[in-house]
Structure 1
Amino acid sequence: MLIRLLTSCKPGVIHDWAALERDLKRFLEPKAVVSRREELLVYDCDGLTMDRHAPPLAVLPKSTDEVAAIVAACHRHAIPFVARGSGTGLSGGALVEEEALLIVTSRMRRILAVDLSNQTITVEPGVINSWVTRAVAGDGFYYAPDPSSQVVCSIGGNVAENSGGVHCLKYGVTSNHVLSMRVVLPDGQVTELGGALSETCAIDLRGAFIGSEGTLGIATEITLRLLPAPQEVAVLLADFPSMESAGEAVRRITAAGVLPAGLEIMDHTCIAAVNAAFAEEEYPPEAGAVLLVELDGQSLEVKDAVALAITLCREAGAGEVREAWDEAERARLWKGRKSAISALGRQCPSYYLQDGVVPRTALPSVLAAIDRLSAEHGLVVANVFHAGDGNLHPLILYRASDPGVNEKVKTLGAAIMELCLAAGGSISGEHGVGSDKRCFLDRMFSEDDLSTMKRVRLAFDPDGLANPGKIFPTPKSCGESQRRVVALERSGRRLPDGAGVF
């Protein structure tokens, strides 16, 4: 029964798209329904551009009522749907692989309520991450989760992927800052998850929904926790001769009991790309790696932490250590890190970004292994990542026009995922599983674990209409991944203990 329900929306099912389009046009304005082929190409991929599938039909609702009516229509016609925010996701989560209606929330951009007394703000899913802080900064508050794409990514997408960002080391990820949500369930019903209080006696369905990647429904109103702006903020930029020495500085800082707001490392490839992208050199050009350390809190506390962090960086082998105390200079030091991926894109037309997590103690060995894999596969891998919590973001650079390069890139990506798992890590820290990494999920979890997760999904979506085919491995979707795993085994690299066969 479980398998039957989860595969009920399989490819090859014939849907009456004309009937659904007529139904939708009864309550949506004409420009909210997109059906022309050339216009639908805009939505053929998310930030992971290697795989592309344009949807047969897309809609752009402006309210919870419209979303509920759209989803109810899908339910009546037994047509699957996929929710999409700004399309900046990096795991193929908003990809329409099989025929499904694409529901784009980018027009839902209202800030619905601000309650500074209780430090909350309620927004629609299309509100851009950085807009939240902008709305309350004048009153001395801010919103902590800050993905590198915060000027373009939406809060709805952040909720779907449980996004992190630079400040996740100290302040946590999206789930730590969402109090409640109004959610449209896969049959069109509207419900509330969570509440105004951070603690509740109810089962935490809010926590189950966040990070579910659109497989449990669509959040249409989201109440976020705001934080008072810290009294003092300082940013350090330390350059190191190697990634290993920068990693050693991270180890020393965390071992000393210092808790930075952020700890970020960029390797030499990223440094060169960032310096080339801007008019003047942002970072020391000869450095093997740079470490950005942000410290915040009460003034005396920050001053002491800065002095200690500088000492620890120098003990680990740092050359120059720059300090930034005013907002403009801090933003200047962060600019290169926030722009690293786009800077690399200027140098190479295509990239494949991974999102593995390893224990901090494993960073040196895993980074060295990634360098070896890069050389073996003949592909450049740039590293920029959240060093404080071991969340790696290796970017495999390639040219899509090169024959057979997609398979070569994915084989290297699979090898990097295997490294993370073998080190006791995870296949994703914040980008989600989506379609890109679903074939590695059964290497992390047992059959019983996966079955339990699927039962939770069925409780919300018994007909399997919400973002079908995502997260969980299937024989069809994972056939290609199986061939990559065989290639890894033939190369002599050992798979993690207990790794299953797809």
Structure 2
Amino acid sequence: MNAPSQEPPITAERQRAIVAELRTVLPPHCLLSSEEDTRPYECDGLTAFRQLPLAVALPENEEQVVAVLKACRKLQVPIVPRGAGTGLSGGAMPVAEGIVLSTAKMSRIVAIDAHARTATVQPGVRNLAISEAAASHQLYYAPDPSSQIACTIGGNIAENAGGVHCLKYGLTLHNVLRVRMVTADGDVVELGSTAPDAAGLDLLAVFIGSEGMLGVVTEATVKLTPKPSLARVVMASFDDVVRGADAVADVISAGMIPAGLEMMDRTSARMVEPFVCAGYDTDAAAILLCESDGLPEEVEEEISRMRAVLERSGATAIAVSRDEAERMRFWSGRKNAFPAAGRISPDYYCMDGTIPRRKLAEVLTGIEALAQQYQLRCANVFHAGDGNLHPLILFDANQPGEFERAEKFGEAILSLCVAAGGTITGEHGVGVEKLDSMCEQFTVEEIAAFIAVKRAFDPAQQLNPNKAIPTLDRCAQYGKRKVDGGRFRFAQYARHYG
């Protein structure tokens, strides 16, 4: 993976003209233009890639979003939409000579409809705030990414975020009914519907997960889920990672769909246990967290079945949460794995790939071999139930060459996922991080189709340009490098554009 190319510095005259235009459509407190004010927006959670934005627009309503987009179209200014900036693939990193359009100020919960079980919210509403607002109705918003205390629904829609409960309750895509958005031309469009179906093409499914390339969200209606009467977690220890991975498939094969099914290896458990005191077995090679929720009788039966399957699969120890406090403690370790990495490593690089469940053991073994090859530690903590891996590559950026080695390690993990029949992302998106890996997974024809969809929404290529979809020339160059090394699976890139 190569750092994105940097364009020549913008001229002071051009910057003044753009800022002056934006000042005509935004109140003074909704526009940042000094370096000191815009510096916090130079990157998202992928801090290795940075670009200072020309300005940051912080509209407070849809009318201002429309006005900003029309002003940028008039002056041909690139726009990077941004939520809370918690993304991990560089999707919200600014582009040279462009502005950032942050929806952080649009943070109003418009309506909670307890009878229809929906919430209508602005894009800057935090993920967790939806559940907090619906709690009095015994409802909640099911997708729960680890950053849910900070991440916003607009960003969740852009990345199709998931979380530990996505196995049973689905990703953002499965929990959003309607999106109101503004196109690059400044047109307001509604996708989806609160009715059982919407007329026309299913563009809502195209828009969710499009990483800010097709439009800017100004409002969304999401599904609310009834809170289960009871939830309990089974925590199982395994003395072998392969046995732990095989147990995941065994649970699903037994006809159960747990509310959550997560796995952590020994490195992950040891880095997080001192941080949260969750009660993890730090001697175990792998830990599985399996949650059951529903009516008390249903939970009791499913927990019993889970225990039986896990015991047959070779679990060396099994614990079941006794109350809600202990259940939350079991999950706290999994949810805090990323920040806990800072306890044992100066830096970490979080990958995101998805594979078929039956290939978990094979891919985890492959990651272990790659860790030896690149001489870097790797902590595996992931959504085992749906095969969404999040290897944390631990490194020290102060050591010459370690970051570059970590990048190559990460690229190799994604190649491993593709070879196993999986994909290069699950919920973190492509951003700038995985542009080369897109060339590894998709054919020239497929990438050309992605480009055509982008052009249909944004002909001038102003919204989040140079993200998520690689150019065919980039794939050709990537193909040549891979072919030269004898390792490239899709050599047709080099033949088509060589």
* Band of TM-score, shorter chain: over 0.9
Q: Give the secondary-structure state (helix, strand or coil) at the position aligned to 2:219.
A: strand
Q: Which residue of 2 aligns with 1:248?
A: 246
Q: Give the secondary-structure state (helix, strand or coil) at the position aligned to 1:254.
A: helix
Quick one: distance in 1 between partners of 2:133 and 2:482? 48
Q: Which residue of 2 aligns with 1:80?
A: 78
Q: Which residue of 1 aligns with 2:415?
A: 418
Could you tell me the TM-score, scaled by structure 2's length?
A: 0.94
CA deviations on 1:439-468 (whole Å, 9 max, x unpaired) are 121322222222222111111111110000
CA deviations on 1:268-291 (whole Å, 9 max, x unpaired) are 11111111223x463112111110
Q: Does 1:221 align with 2:219?
A: yes
Structure 2 residue runs of 5 or longer lacking an equivalent are: none
Q: Give the secondary-structure state (helix, strand or coil) at the position aligned to 1:48.
A: coil
Alpha-carbon spacing, 1:75–1:13, altered in 2? closer, same or farther (3 Å): farther
2:440 maps to amino acid: R
Quick one: distance in 1 between partners of 2:400 and 2:480? 18
Shift of residue 12, structure 1, vs aligned partner: 5.3
Q: Does 1:191 align with 2:189?
A: yes
Alpha-carbon spacing, 1:475–1:496, altered in 2? closer, same or farther (3 Å): closer
**Is the contact between residue 243 and residue 289 of structure 1 (CA under 8 Å) also seen in structure 2?**
yes
CA deviations on 1:53-95 (whole Å, 9 max, x unpaired) are 1112111111111111111110111111000111110111001
Q: Which residue of 2 aligns with 1:438?
A: 435
Q: How many residues align?
A: 489
Shift of residue 497, structure 1, vs aligned partner: 6.2
Q: Does 1:174 align with 2:172?
A: yes
**Is the contact between residue 450 and residue 469 of structure 2 (CA under 8 Å) also seen in structure 1?**
no
Q: Which residue of 2 aligns with 1:92?
A: 90
Shift of residue 176, structure 1, vs aligned partner: 0.6
Shift of residue 174, structure 1, vs aligned partner: 0.3
Shift of residue 188, structure 1, vs aligned partner: 1.1
Q: Name which of structure 1's ranges 476-485 and 119-128 shifts more when overlaid on structure 2.
A: 476-485
Quick one: distance in 1 between partners of 2:171 and 2:298? 24
Q: Which residue of 2 aligns with 1:375?
A: 372
Q: Percent identity?
A: 43
Quick one: distance in 1 between partners of 2:219 and 2:382? 31
Quick one: distance in 2 between partners of 1:496 and 1:478? 12
Shift of residue 486, structure 1, vs aligned partner: 6.5
Q: Which residue of 2 aligns with 1:4?
A: none
Quick one: distance in 1 between partners of 2:480 and 2:291? 43
Aligned counterpart for 1:29 among listed residues 6, 27, 30: 27
Aligned counterpart for 1:312 among listed residues 273, 298, 309: 309
Alpha-carbon spacing, 1:19–1:97, altered in 2? closer, same or farther (3 Å): closer
CA deviations on 1:16-68 (whole Å, 9 max, x unpaired) are 22122112112322222111112222111111111111112111111111111
Shift of residue 363, structure 1, vs aligned partner: 0.6
Q: Give the secondary-structure state (helix, strand or coil) at the position aligned to 1:40.
A: helix
1:92 maps to amino acid: G
**Is the contact between residue 52 and residue 96 of structure 2 (CA under 8 Å) also seen in structure 1?**
no
**Is the contact between residue 168 and residue 259 of structure 2 (CA under 8 Å) also seen in structure 1?**
yes
Quick one: distance in 2 between partners of 1:463 and 1:442? 23
**Is the contact between residue 371 and residue 378 of structure 2 (CA under 8 Å) also seen in structure 1?**
yes
Q: Name which of structure 1's ranges 473-482 and 137-146 shifts more when overlaid on structure 2.
A: 473-482
2:237 maps to amino acid: D
Could you tell me the TM-score, scaled by structure 1's length?
A: 0.93
Q: Which residue of 2 aligns with 1:6?
A: none
Alpha-carbon spacing, 1:362–1:58, altered in 2? closer, same or farther (3 Å): same
Quick one: distance in 2 between partners of 1:97 and 1:69? 20
Shift of residue 120, structure 1, vs aligned partner: 0.6
Q: Give the secondary-structure state (helix, strand or coil) at the position aligned to 1:42.
A: helix
Aligned counterpart for 2:123 among listed residues 119, 122, 125: 125
Alpha-carbon spacing, 1:33–1:185, altered in 2? closer, same or farther (3 Å): same
Quick one: distance in 1 between partners of 2:211 and 2:63? 21
Shift of residue 349, structure 1, vs aligned partner: 2.1
Aligned counterpart for 1:405 among listed residues 402, 406, 414: 402
**Is the contact between residue 145 and residue 173 of structure 1 (CA under 8 Å) also seen in structure 2?**
yes
2:250 maps to amino acid: R
Q: Give the secondary-structure state (helix, strand or coil) at the position aligned to 1:406.
A: helix
Q: Which residue of 1 aligns with 2:289?
A: 292
Q: Give the secondary-structure state (helix, strand or coil) at the position aligned to 1:182.
A: strand
Quick one: distance in 2 between partners of 1:477 and 1:35? 32
Quick one: distance in 1 between partners of 2:9 and 2:215? 22
Shift of residue 476, structure 1, vs aligned partner: 7.3
CA deviations on 1:376-423 (whole Å, 9 max, x unpaired) are 111111100000111110111111111122221111111111100111
Q: Does 1:155 align with 2:153?
A: yes
Quick one: distance in 2 between partners of 1:430 and 1:290? 22
CA deviations on 1:137-189 (whole Å, 9 max, x unpaired) are 12110111111111111110000011111111111100111111110110111
Q: Which residue of 1 aligns with 2:356?
A: 359
Q: Which residue of 1 aligns with 2:389?
A: 392
**Is the contact between residue 421 and residue 496 of structure 1 (CA under 8 Å) also seen in structure 2?**
no
Quick one: distance in 1 between partners of 2:193 and 2:362? 44
Quick one: distance in 2 between partners of 1:148 and 1:485? 35
Shift of residue 107, structure 1, vs aligned partner: 1.4
Shift of residue 102, structure 1, vs aligned partner: 0.4
Q: Give the secondary-structure state (helix, strand or coil) at the position aligned to 2:120.
A: strand
**Is the contact between residue 444 and residue 493 of structure 2 (CA under 8 Å) also seen in structure 1?**
no
CA deviations on 1:217-253 (whole Å, 9 max, x unpaired) are 1001010011111222111111111211111211111
Quick one: distance in 2 between partners of 1:51 and 1:499? 30
- State the Cα RMSD in Å: 2.1
**Is the contact between residue 123 and residue 221 of structure 1 (CA under 8 Å) also seen in structure 2?**
yes
Shift of residue 205, structure 1, vs aligned partner: 1.2
For residues 241-280 of structure 1, the aligned pairs below 5 Å read 241-278=239-276, 280=277
Quick one: distance in 2 between partners of 1:499 and 1:221? 42
**Is the contact between residue 160 and residue 214 of structure 1 (CA under 8 Å) also seen in structure 2?**
yes
Alpha-carbon spacing, 1:134–1:325, altered in 2? closer, same or farther (3 Å): farther
Aligned counterpart for 2:206 among listed residues 205, 208, 217: 208
Q: Which residue of 2 aligns with 1:42?
A: 40
Quick one: distance in 2 between partners of 1:288 and 1:425? 24
Alpha-carbon spacing, 1:198–1:175, altered in 2? closer, same or farther (3 Å): farther
**Is the contact between residue 267 and residue 383 of structure 1 (CA under 8 Å) also seen in structure 2?**
yes
Q: Which residue of 2 aligns with 1:3?
A: none
Alpha-carbon spacing, 1:210–1:414, altered in 2? closer, same or farther (3 Å): same
Alpha-carbon spacing, 1:408–1:390, altered in 2? closer, same or farther (3 Å): same
1:221 maps to amino acid: E
